Amino acid sequence: MSLPVQHLWLIPALPLAAAAVGALTPRSGRTLAAGAAIATMAGAFLLACLALGGALDFPAAHQVLNFAWFDLGATSLRLGLLLDPLTAFMCVMVTFVSLLIFIFSTGYMKADANAKQFFCFLSLFAAAMLGLIIANSLLLLFVCWELVGLASYLLIGFWFHKPAAAAAAKKAFITTRIGDLGFLLGLLWLQDAQGTLLFYDGGHGILESAALANLTHLLPCGLAASTAIGLLIFCGAIGKSGQFPLHVWLPDAMEGPTPVSALIHAATMVAAGVFLIARVYPLMAADQLLANVPVHALTVVAFIGAITALMGALIAVAQNDIKRILAFSTVSQLGYMMLAIGVGSWVAAIFHLLTHAFFKALLFLGAGSVIHAAHHEQDIRRLGGLRPKMKVTFATFAIGMMALSGVPFLFSGFWSKEAILHAAHGWEVSSLPFYAAVLGVVLTAFYMTRLVAEVFYGAPRSDEASHAHENSPAMTVPLVILAACSILFSLLAWPSPWLQHQLDPSAHSESGDMSLVLPSIVLVALGLGAGWAYYGRRPRTKAESPDPLDRYAPGLMAALANRLGFDELYAATVGRLSSGFATLAAFLEVFVWDGAVRFLAGLGELSGLVSRENDEAGFNAGFDAGSKTLRDTGVAYSKAQTGDAHGYLRTLALGFVLLLILVILGGAR
C-alpha cells in the first residue's frame, strides 16, 4: 500500500486544516487546537510513511503531478507535486519530529494563556514546510518558503510583549528576506531563460539535462549562466539556513518558546535551505564540466559551508546561554551540510540533515525540559547539578550530545558526519574545507561536553536549579522517542549505506572505505577529553567564577562571547547605512518635498484670498447695493398700505371721479 503522487497534497493539507481550526477556535479552545494539531500531524506522518513506501519502490524515478495554475497570454504558469526518495524521507522526518514537538508543547505551553494560537502557528509552520518539500516547481517552493518565513516570524515573536522577542522576530524576518531577494532574482532569471520553473517535466524541467545545457553559455563577467543563477538561489539558502554571513538571526531566534526553537532548528526552517540546494543540485552542478570559468557554484557553497561550520563551532565554545550554545551548534552543523553539498555529496548532506533533525530536536526539547524545570533559567553558569533530579532528561540529553559530537558507532551523528568528512576529504579543489571540518569536529565535542558538564554536573548554583524536578510524561516521552531514533538511525548507514543508496541509486557505493574512521575517533575523543578536563573534573562552584578558558586567551574568548562582533559590524555598516538613508529621506521629506507641497499650498491660499477680496468688494457690493434700493422702494411703497378701508374707498371714489371727468372731457372734445 502506498500513497500515489496524486494524493501527495494531503500531507501539507492536513496540518493546514489544523491551523485553520486553531485560528477559528476561541481562546478557551486550546485542547481542541492542540488535539487537532497533533491528530493531523499524526495523520500526515502515516501518509508520509505511505509515500515513502511508494517512493522506495522506484527510487530512481521522479513521480510528478503537474498542473496549470493560470495562463499568462500564450504561456501557462504550471505548478506541480513531486515524489521521489528525497521528498519522501524529508516528509517522514518533518512530520515525525513535528509530531513529537507538538506533543512536547502541550506540556511546555501548559501555563500560557495563548496556547491555542501557538498550536495554530505551529501547524502552519509544518504545513508550509511540507508544501515546500513536495513542490515540483521552484515557484511553489518559493511560495511555501515565504510562508515558512512568515510562520517563523510569528513564532519567534510569540512572546511579543518581550521587546527582545519582538526584535528577534523582526531580525529573523528581515535577514532572511535579504537572502530571499537573491532567490527571487534567480527564480525570475530562470523563468526567463527556461520558460518554466518545474523541476521535472518529462525532459523539459529545469533540472533535466536538456534544460541545463541551455545554461552553459558564459556571461560577460566570465561566469556561466547556471553559476550565476545557482549562486542567486544559494543566497536564499544562506539566509534561511543561517549560513555565514547571514547567520546572525538564528541565535537571536532563541527568544521564541523552546519548542519553536526545536522546530526551527530541526525540522522546518533551517532545513529548508539545505533541502533547496540539494533539490536543485543538478543546476548547481551544471557548471562543473566547464573548465574556463573563474569559479564554480559548488565551490562557493563548499567554502561558505566550511566557514560557517568552523565559525559556529568556535562561537558556541564561548556562549553561556544553553539555547544559544545549541543555536550556534546548529549554525555549525548547517555549515557541514552545505559543505557536503559543495563538495558534491548532497546525499551526505541530506543524511546529516535527517540525523541532525532528530538529535537537535532532542537537544532542544531537552534544553526546554531543563528550562521549564528551572523556572526559565537559561544561563548554564547558574544551572548545575541537575543529573540526580532529572534522570530522564539527563539520559536523553546525553544521548543527543553524543550523537551531535559524533561518538563512534552507536550514534547516528557519527555516521552522517563521517560521510561528510569523507566527501570533503575526497574533494579535489581544495583541502582547506576538510581541515576546517576536522577542527569543527573537535570543537563540537568540546562545547557539547562543556554544556552537559555545566548543566548536569557539580552543585546547583542558583535557587532555580536547586528546586528543579523532572517534568511530566508529555515532555519526557518525546525525549525518549527521539533519543531512541538518534541511536536507531545508525542502521540507515551501517552496516551498509542503505539511505545513501536509496537517495541516489546512481552514485557509486563507497561502503567499506573506513580510512577516516580512526582519525575521526581520535578527534572526537580529543574534544570530549578536553571538555571533561576543563569543565567536568572540577565543576564550577559559584555562578560568578570565571570560565577556565578565560585564563588562557581572555581576548579571544571575549570576542567569541561577543559572537565575533557580527551584530556590531552589521549595526555599524548596514544598520548605519540604512539609518543614514532614513535620515536623508526624512530630511528630504521635511524640507524638500514638504516645502514644495507647502509652497503650492501657499499659492492656493493666496489665490483664494485674492478671489475672496474680489468677490466681496466687487460682486457682493453691487448686489448689496441693488437689493438695498429694492428694499427701500418696497418700504416706501408699503406706506400706501394704510389698512384703512375707508381710505381705500375714498381713493377709489376719487380715482373714479377723475376718470369720469377725463372721459367727459374727452367725450366733449
For every residue of 402-415, DSSP letters joined together read: HHHHT-TTTSHHHH
Selected from 221, 645, 665, 668, the binder of another protein by CB under 8 A is 645
**How many residues form the binding site for another protein (CB under 8 A)?**
13
Looking at 25-33, 130-138, 525-533, 648-656, which segment touches another protein (CB under 8 A)? 648-656
**270 with 333: CB under 8 angstroms?**
no
Q: Which of 363, 373, 375 is nearest to 323 (CA)?
A: 363
User: Restricting to residues 582-641, which ones interact with another protein according to CB under 8 A?
Assistant: 637-641
Q: How far is the CB of 634 from another protein (least distance, A)?
A: 9
Q: Rounded CA gap, 473 and 107, in Å?
A: 8
- For the chain, the distance separating the N- and C-terminal CA atoms, rounded to the nearest angstrom, is 136
Q: How far is CA 413 from CA 96, 274, 420, 493, 494, in A?
A: 18, 17, 11, 10, 12
CA dihedral 296, 300, 303, 306 (to 10 degrees): -120
Looking at 26-34, 253-261, 573-581, 644-652, which segment touches another protein (CB under 8 A)? 644-652
Q: Rounded CA gap, 173 and 337, in Å?
A: 23
User: Restricting to residues 481-520, which ones interact with another protein according to CB under 8 A?
Assistant: none
Q: Which of 205, 212, 203, 152 is nearest to 176 (CA)?
A: 152
C-alpha cell at 446: 568540546
Q: How far is CA 384 from CA 182, 326, 378, 451, 607, in A?
A: 45, 17, 11, 10, 79
Q: How far is the CB of 618 from another protein (least distance, A)?
A: 34
C-alpha cell at 567: 551584530
* Residue with Cβ nearer another protein (28 or 641): 641
Q: What is the CA radius of gyration of the chain?
A: 38
Selected from 643, 665, 667, 669, the binder of another protein by CB under 8 A is 643
Q: How far is the CB of 643 from another protein (least distance, A)?
A: 3
C-alpha cell at 244: 555565514
650 is an interface residue for another protein by CB under 8 A: yes
Q: How far is the CB of 601 from another protein (least distance, A)?
A: 53
* Residue with Cβ nearer another protein (653 or 663): 653
User: Restricting to residues 384-403, which ones interact with another protein according to CB under 8 A?
Assistant: none
Q: How far is the CB of 609 from another protein (least distance, A)?
A: 43
Q: How far is the CB of 610 from another protein (least distance, A)?
A: 44
**364 with 326: CB under 8 angstroms?**
yes
Q: For residue 67, which phi and psi values (nearest 5 degrees)?
A: -150, 155
Q: How far is the CB of 625 from another protein (least distance, A)?
A: 23
Q: Which of 433, 424, 94 is nearest to 268 (CA)?
A: 94
Other residues' Cβ atoms within 10 Å of the Cβ of residue 569: 13
User: Restricting to residues 85-104, which ones interact with another protein according to CB under 8 A?
Assistant: none
Q: Which residue has the cell 508529555?
A: 474
Q: How far is the CB of 647 from another protein (least distance, A)?
A: 9
Looking at 220-228, 364-372, 421-429, 646-654, which segment touches another protein (CB under 8 A)? 646-654
User: What is the per-residue binding string for another protein in 36-65, x denoting contact by CB under 8 A?
Assistant: ------------------------------
* Residue with Cβ nearer another protein (1 or 636): 636
Q: How far is the CB of 616 from another protein (least distance, A)?
A: 33
* Residue with Cβ nearer another protein (26 or 643): 643
Selected from 68, 642, 659, 664, the binder of another protein by CB under 8 A is 642
* Residue with Cβ nearer another protein (111 or 640): 640
Q: Rounded CA gap, 288 and 2, in Å?
A: 37
SS3 content of the chain, % helix, strand, coil (to 5): 70, 5, 25
* Residue with Cβ nearer another protein (220 or 643): 643
Long-range contact pairs involving 430-436 (C-beta distance under 8 Å, separation at least 24):
430/299, 430/302, 430/303, 432/303, 432/306, 433/302, 433/303, 433/305, 433/306, 433/339, 433/342, 433/343, 436/306, 436/307, 436/309, 436/310
Q: Rounded CA gap, 315 and 534, in Å?
A: 17
Q: Which of 82, 104, 91 is nearest to 52 (CA)?
A: 91
* Residue with Cβ nearer another protein (376 or 646): 646
User: What is the per-residue binding string for another protein in 245-284, x denoting contact by CB under 8 A?
Assistant: ----------------------------------------
* Residue with Cβ nearer another protein (614 or 651): 651
* Residue with Cβ nearer another protein (160 or 648): 648
* Residue with Cβ nearer another protein (70 or 637): 637
292 by DSSP, 3-state: which? coil
Q: Rounded CA gap, 340 and 473, in Å?
A: 38
646 is an interface residue for another protein by CB under 8 A: yes
Selected from 653, 658, 660, 663, the binder of another protein by CB under 8 A is 653
Q: Which residue type, as a one-letter code, is found at position 178?
A: I
* Residue with Cβ nearer another protein (188 or 653): 653
Q: How far is the CB of 642 from another protein (least distance, A)?
A: 6
667 is an interface residue for another protein by CB under 8 A: no
The kind and range of the H/E element at 93 are helix 85-108
* Residue with Cβ nearer another protein (511 or 642): 642
Residues at the site binding another protein, with contacts judged by CB under 8 A = 637-646, 649-650, 653
